[in-house]
Structure formats: C-alpha cells, structure tokens
Structure 1
C-alpha cells in the first residue's frame, strides 16, 4: 500500500462505524486525520487513539456539519495543524426510524433535520474544503450515501430521499469541482455494527443470516468493507469522478433495474 504520511484528511462522523473504520484505515498508511464527532466524545477518543496506534496522527474536533461555522472550524483545525487538506469523507448522517407505510410518522421538521445533516452538511463541507484543495492543486471527496438513495428502502422515506439527493449532488459537484477535485459516492447496503443492532434489536442476528443467505456474494457487509471503497476513491482512481458505487454484496440486484444510479 502507498505511504500516506504527507496526506491529510477530514472524516466527518468518525467516532464510530464507517467513519471510524475509514480513519483507522487511512492512519494505518501514515495519514493525518481529523476525527469528528458531535456527542460521542469517548468513542471519538478511542478512534483517535486507534489511529495513532496504527501509525498515523489524529486530532479530535467536535462539530455539527449542519452548521456552516462548524464546517469551517473543521477545515481550519486541519489547516492549523498540518497546512493542507487532501481528502474529505462526508460520513456524518442521521435518520428517524419510521416504517415507510406510516406517512403520518414523518413531519416537515423531520425532513428538515435529516436533510440538514445528510445533504446540507456535505455541501457545506465541500464548499469549505474546495478553496484549499484547488489552491494546492488537487484533492478528493467521498460522500457516504446508501443503497436507500438508489432503490428507496431504509429506515425512513426521509432518509432514503436525503441519500438520493446526496447522490445527485455528487454528480453536480463533480462537474464544477474538477479538474482539481474528484468527488464520488459510496452506497453501502447492510452494514454490521452498533447502529444496526440498535435499529433491529432482536432481529439483528437473523438479518445477518439473511444477508449471508440471499445476497450474490453471501456476505453481510462490515464498516471496514465500506471504508475500503472510500479509501480507494480517496487515494487512487485518479480518472474517476461523479461515480455512485454500490457496496452491498450485490443486494441491489434483487431490485428492479435502478435508474437512480
């Protein structure tokens, strides 16, 4: 693997899950990373410690990406420490768990809150890093989206709609951020971990078995699986931008052809 000791990245929502796995994977190649959290300080500290133990550098930064000033703070934290920004992973996200048939279960405020983090936040982060990346001659951005935004499934209609918007925004930004900046999106399917355990409860183990039994690859995805794709986009794939890539063990093949890609 190539050395990333001179590489600097910001990973939003990196206290746990895919964000944490991405930070650790980059750090294992020597990268310097901003570990971002909103409330999970202890988890963020553990992630930062793991990054340092892996051979990289890590700085904690509390910030809410729905707030533009906080997005600017993340950028300034990286610049103050290391003077450059080579990569951004827009991983921070939120949802409200509401069965899709329950149309009364989502309010306009729910949509506003979910979009503020899942769509507006990534836009503000892209806008905040763009001047630095362009001035230094290049950079790469990865949006962590979801299969929900492609096939309309997931924890709620509002969540699926927000990820669909994030995919579309990835295409729009790819056109305007080039040639210096590449931007791509990763769409995970089922991902093992704490969040799915909390959502599914007693059904969690059965869901893993279902994924293993019914997906073409016979696997239930992990945070590390998703981080692997994100790091690929960040550090290689120099001729790729505006791509929306599904990482779901082939789960999407069981749906009708997905024109939203």
Structure 2
C-alpha cells in the first residue's frame, strides 16, 4: 500500500481518525475530510505526516464531493482508496413512532447513503485508473438486524449495505466495494457525554454482553477496514463484515447457550 492515496470522510475523529493512523503506517497518503472538526483533522494530518492533508467538505453536497475528489488528485496525482465513514443519527426509541419526523429520515439518509454514493461517483474516475482500487463503506449492524439508535438510522445503514452490493457489481473489476458493519464502538463521543467513569461502566456492560467479552474501540474497526483495502484482499468484493465482537450471534436469543435454561 506504500505510496497509495486514500480519502477518508469524517476522518478527523473516531473511526475515521483510527483508519487514517493505520493507513499512514502502511505508507498511504491520506486526505482527511472533515465538515466541522477542522482542528482535529489538521492536528491528525500533522501527527501522521506522510504528506497527509485535511480538506473541508460537506459531502451532503454533490459539488463538494467532486471538489474533495479533485483535491486528492490535485495534491497527489492519483486516488486508490475511499473510506465512506461520515454519518449521522438521531436517538429515538424504535417503539416511539412519533419520535422521528420525515425531515429526520431525510437528513440521516442524505449523509449516510446519498453522500456516500456521491463520493463514490466523484472518486470513481480516478479510482478506475489504479491497479488495485477499493472502497469501504462504514455501515452498521443496525442495517443488518433493524436495531440501533433509531429506525431512521437502521433504515439508512440497510440502504448503504444494499448500495454496496449493487455498486460492487457495477464497478468491478477496476474497483472493489465492501462494507463493514460495526456494533457498539467506544469513541470519544460516548466519553464526552458520560465522563470517564460512565464510559468505563458502559464498556464493561457491553463487554459482558458479547461472546468475545470486549467492547470495540475505533482502532478495532480500523483494522478490518485496512484489511479490506489491502490489495491482498483482491478476491473480496460485495461483502459486509460484521464487527461487533460476536454480539450478532445472540440477536433474537433470550439467553446464550450454556447459561441458565
């Protein structure tokens, strides 16, 4: 992966930042996209070095997607990888059907699905020129099982998964297209809202509920994303990788085998 170029949307914080750090170690030159987190993105670019640059773009706007792709090729003359990581949600109990408005659905879908499509479309011409180009879309187990922070979020991530499979057919063989579907990820978002002690308790509770007895952090999600981008995974396209420490194995079960029955 040495010398390759990647665009990572929402790359200044959380999973995106963890991906940037892993790719930089592999010699990838990263374009760190941000919408609002300018300080974090610029600090990350300085931290990882390797010619990384931070570029502001609201990828909900198609023109800004095209400008972001252009910034990558203008800076480095090529583009090999795209990680569609930017996303949003609104927390709403699935049983409370009055908790979401039509605008909520539109806003969440616009960033989680439409923006990802716009980024793929904007980057595709440059990606097609590379010898081993790949895209990874960051979906969620919510989109697989209809769970998560809200119905709107689950629906959007389900659409992103379907789009991944559709575009894997369209863009082959020049571009591989895969998705990861994380479960809980302990990012700074939770720590800022819960405080250090509350965050630690949450992680303990999540770990106790997973077969692997772990609460995933951003770095745990970045590793599989790196793997899917790696040319060594050239046989993999159109796949959705569940990254939830095995929690999906218990979805729909009231108790785990081997426990009280």
Q: TM-score, normalized by length of structure 1? A: 0.92
2:158 corresponds to 1:164: yes
Aligned pairs for 1:178-189 (under 5 A) are 178-189=172-183
2:67 corresponds to 1:73: yes
In the alignment, which residue of structure 1 is the partner of 2:245? 249
Offset, 1:137: 4.2
Q: List alignment gaps of at least 5 residues for structure 2.
A: 254-261
- Identify which of 225, 244, 261 aligns with 2:220: 225
In the alignment, which residue of structure 1 is the partner of 2:93? 99
Q: CA RMSD in A?
A: 1.5
Distance 2:33 2:69 in 1: 11
Distance 1:192 1:159 in 2: 18
SS of equivalent residue, structure 2 residue 93: coil
2:46 corresponds to 1:49: yes
Q: Which runs of 4+ in 1 moved over 4 A?
A: 198-203
- Identify which of 146, 151, 155 aligns with 2:149: 155
In the alignment, which residue of structure 2 is the partner of 1:62? 56
Offset, 1:215: 0.8
Does the 8 A contact of 1:14 with 1:36 survive in 2?
yes
SS of equivalent residue, structure 2 residue 107: helix
Offset, 1:136: 3.4
Distance 2:108 2:194 in 1: 20
Can you list the C-alpha shifts for 1:203-261, whole angstroms capped at 9, x where unaligned? 5333211222121111100101100010000113100000000011001011149xxxx
Distance 1:256 1:47 in 2: 40
In the alignment, which residue of structure 2 is the partner of 1:208? 203
Distance 1:90 1:182 in 2: 14
Q: List alignment gaps of at least 5 residues for structure 1.
A: none
Distance 2:27 2:131 in 1: 21
Offset, 1:30: 1.5
Offset, 1:134: 1.5
In the alignment, which residue of structure 1 is the partner of 2:259? none
Give the paired residue count: 251
Offset, 1:106: 0.7
SS of equivalent residue, structure 1 residue 103: coil
Aligned pairs for 1:4-153 (under 5 A) are 4-52=1-49, 56-153=50-147
Offset, 1:105: 1.2
Offset, 1:198: 5.0
Q: TM-score, normalized by length of structure 2? A: 0.92
Offset, 1:43: 1.1
In the alignment, which residue of structure 1 is the partner of 2:257? none
Distance 2:237 2:113 in 1: 19
